[in-house]
Amino acid sequence: MIGIVDYGVGNLASVRNAFDRAGYEAELCSRQEELGQYERLVLPGVGSFRSAMELLEQGGWVHALKTYAATKKPMLGICLGMQLMFDYGEEHGGAAGLGLIPGTVVHLEPAAPNKVPHVGWNSLNHAMRHSLLEGVKPVVDFYFVHSYHCVPKNPEHILATCDFGGEFVAAVVAGNVAGMQFHPEKSQPAGIRILENFAEWEPQC
């Protein structure tokens, strides 16, 4: 069973429906003490880094998510959920993140004529061969909506990048923890393939 963390923000129904279309059972989890029952976990998110971290802290999710990650079970962050996995985000004055992936989240500064927020379809540049990208061609577009981007401390954690008036990190993987800046649940067949790959992923930790 795949758990989708329901902490008050995110495209929860869209993510669950996308897993349904992929043929995998997923359900929303609104109680942090129940995380351990899931074989895989998805952390979605929309909105600001600082506000989302405040919700996670208020709901007792921070310790629970760190504990889950330590079990070495597969964990996927989507959009803001990916950003929250990092050490620190500078949005709205800054806030500490979950610290699951070393690095920071900074404002996106594309070259003209590109504008922030970055909204629309863009293709990925694969930085490594990985089972999460199995069957995904670099020329295929994914749907992005964001104003901030992740800067991993370790380049080896970069799974894919995207060019939007300059290159930014579009996907990461560190052990059993992965993140996608784009929305696989909104990215049609290619996004469904990403979710299928996650549902079958066996991390080498």
What's the mean pLDDT when you consider all of the chain? 95
pLDDT at 205: 60
User: How many other CB atoms are there within 10 angstroms of residue 183's CB atom?
Assistant: 21
The token duo for 121 is 């379809």
CATH of domain 2-200: 3.40.50.880
Contact 85, 98 (CB under 8 A): yes
pLDDT of residue 39: 97
pLDDT for res 116: 94
What is the C-alpha separation between 190 and 166, in angstroms, rounded?
23
CB 199 within 8 A of CB 191: no
Contact 57, 23 (CB under 8 A): no
CA–CA separation, 16 and 185 (whole Å): 8
Percent of the chain having pLDDT more than 70? 100
**Domain spans of the chain?**
2-200
Q: Which residues are catalytic?
A: 79, 183, 185
Residue numbers of the chain with a pLDDT score lower than 50: none
Per residue in 56-69, pLDDT (tens digit) is 999 999 999 999 99
